[in-house]
Amino acid sequence: MIAARIARAIALGGIAAGLVASPVAAQHEAGGPAGIADVPAGPATIRGVVRHGEDPDRAAGVEVLLYALPAGGAPGLRRTRSRTDGTFAFENIANDTQTAYLIGARYQDVPFPGARVGFAAGELEKTGIEIRIGEIRSDSTPITVTEVELRLAPRGGQLAVLERYRLRNDSARTVYAPAATRSGAGPALVTRLPAGATGFRVPLGLMPEGLVFADDEVSFYGPVYPSAWETPGAQDQDVSFEYQLPASPEGGIDLRKRFPAGAGRVVVLAPADADAPRIPGAREEAPQEVDGRTWRRFVRDGMPTGGELTIALEIPAQRIDPSAVARSEVRIFLELDDAALLVREEHHLIVTGDTPVVGRPGEPLLSLGMPEHATDLRFDPALFERGLSAGEDGGAVFAGPFPPGESSIDIAYHLPIPDPDAGVQLARRFDAPLPLLSIFVADTGLHFESERLHRRRPIATPDRNFLHLEAFQVDPNETIRLSLAQRQAPATPPRAILYLFVALTAGVAVAFLGAPLGRGLGSEPLEEPAEDAARHDRDAVYGALRDLEHDHETAKISDDDYASMRQELRARAATLIRESRTATPSVDPAPAAAPACPTCHAATRSGDRFCAQCGGRIETASPQEASA
């Protein structure tokens, strides 16, 4: 069971394809985000070309940016400039299939998106990437709103509303008004929040370039690229933001939304597990899947300029009861490399009662603080439906609702390693009692130290082994510390002492095995051939190695004892192998002819003292007589 869960945590990939990273808009920032590392290195190349819509010569010397989002590593950024013919190349980059690359350019301080690129298994080159750039215009008259989406999500006595505007630019130039010229230019989009709206925010807390919010009015000044460009950025241009509306004491909400620029159509999405909203003039269509959740879909076509849409709905029963939410277990999965510690966490929750639970207004229902220096926080997009937002300490907070029963929160982040030789320390603290903390460490030859965690039996998955550590009854705000470092090879003892140890041990083993045989015969012992004795010694060493591995896996011996004993046994085995290869076989003299039995005259074998036929004693000649 645990092994399957570990495999699932690895497959989160973890978190690569399904989780969102916070710096998603970094490729649009002038100069790139501060402190971000280079993209992962490797054998692959991405080639493309920058094209100017009006003058090909203006495509030379344009800054091109490559943004990398690996599945199991920190994001990276690399810059280059286009050549005189507009071509560019990013060489020596990783071709990991789980790494996504975003390519774009900046021209006249305006971001121009290019493409999203990924490598197939074994692929070494991506070509044909095209980035369209062009001149700008501040006149926004060519802009039209083709669709407005209103997504309604009840959250604890309030209604969270996500508005998304899809824009079209019928001009041949990019519509954009820089901040210095906005006073004399009309925005490409302008709208107002409904009466009573609070908590304006944009997805991931990153204000898009050209978006301005002031006095309940939202204005967008671009850039909006020509829709005639056959590029993903030009074909899918939208502006999104979110806010909350309070419900009446009876639990009802009346939303009145006005559209100053009109819209080709308005789409309203409401939870499929709640009562349907009442929207005059709208028709209900087939349900729609968004972020793993099913929504009822309502459509109103042809919203005129200045038109208004009214929406009435009832908020499902929810209760404000933070005490009803408790963590039953936290599982942490760790993987250490030379640059960072990859951390994946599963927070398992239990919500008592029969109705969903939310936090008090203005207070989070649940908080997830991050360790100091944590970077590249990622999470499941479905957590936005749990009221996810950024915390003041760089972590995450949840306003709810959380449904009754069991649920979980999956997150991932990195802890950088300034000094690989010194290892890294994970310090984790939780703001509420925790019955069980389970930590699984990918065993790549690691040494760990922790005063609070105790070791359990290792867990094996199809592709690797995991150290299993546990802590019970973790108190609120108690800090659990775990230090990890690559295990150092133990010092090899001096060669002379090692040889002496091997010789003495082998001699004791031969004497111990041979003594019972001599005592049983009551005469001179049988001598085992040298090659058989060497083989037995080697087999004994190999068996001891197997037993040592088993004892270490079952935690019967410590890491330090295991490393030291394993080194000694391997050296002993190597010595025995070398001796068996270099030993010169001795040549025995020809055996003397065996005498016949004096009693029954039956044939005997050389060295026999008694006849095998009659049992009579055989008189043998002395060595001197035999040689005479």
Lateral strand order in the sheet of 405-416: 20-21, 375-379, 405-416, 340-351, 325-336, 434-442, 465-474, 454-460
Cα angle value 190/192/194 (rounded, 5°): 155
Phi, psi of 364 (to 5 degrees): -75, 150
- What topology is assigned to 322-486 in CATH? Immunoglobulin-like (2.60.40)
Residue 445 scores a pLDDT above 80: no
Q: How many CB atoms lie within 10 A of CB 19?
A: 20
Distances (CA, A) of 18 to 11, 205, 232, 292, 412: 10, 19, 21, 10, 12
Domain boundary assignment for the chain: 17-134, 143-314, 322-486, 495-582, 590-628
Return the pLDDT at 489. 52
Return the pLDDT at 518. 43
Mean of pLDDT values over 366-379: 83
Pull the structure tokens for residue 203.
Answer: 């997805």
Strands 63-69 and 110-117: unpaired
- What one-letter code names the amino acid at 43? P
Per the DSSP assignment, residues forming a β-bridge with 615 are none
| Domains 143-314 and 322-486 fall in the same CATH topology | yes
The whole-angstrom separation of Cα 312 and Cα 159 is: 11
- Give the lowest-confidence range in 28-42, 162-176, 209-223, 434-448: 28-42
- pLDDT tens digits, 228-271: 887 777 777 889 999 989 888 777 889 999 999 999 999 999 98
Distances (CA, A) of 423 to 74, 344, 376, 428, 482: 18, 18, 20, 17, 11
Residue 175 scores a pLDDT above 50: yes
Per the DSSP assignment, residues forming a β-bridge with 343 are 334, 413
Decide yes or no: CATH 2.20.130 for domain 143-314. no
Domain covering 495-582 in this structure, CATH number: 1.20.1440
The model's pTM: 0.59
- Give the lowest-confidence range in 75-84, 96-105, 228-237: 228-237
- For residues 32 and 599, the model is more confident at 599
Residue 245, burial from CB neighbour count under 10 angstroms (0-12, 13-18, 19+): buried
Return the pLDDT at 251. 76
Return the pLDDT at 462. 77
* Exposure string over 407-419, b if 16+ CB within 10 A, otherwise e: eebbbbbbbebee
The whole-angstrom separation of Cα 132 and Cα 49 is: 9
Residue 307, burial from CB neighbour count under 10 angstroms (0-12, 13-18, 19+): middle
- What topology is assigned to 17-134 in CATH? Immunoglobulin-like (2.60.40)
Q: What is the DSSP string of 414-443?
A: EEE-S-GGG-EEEEEE-SS-EEEEEEEEE-
Q: Tell me if residue 506 falls in helix, strand or coil.
A: helix
- What one-letter code names the amino acid at 352? T
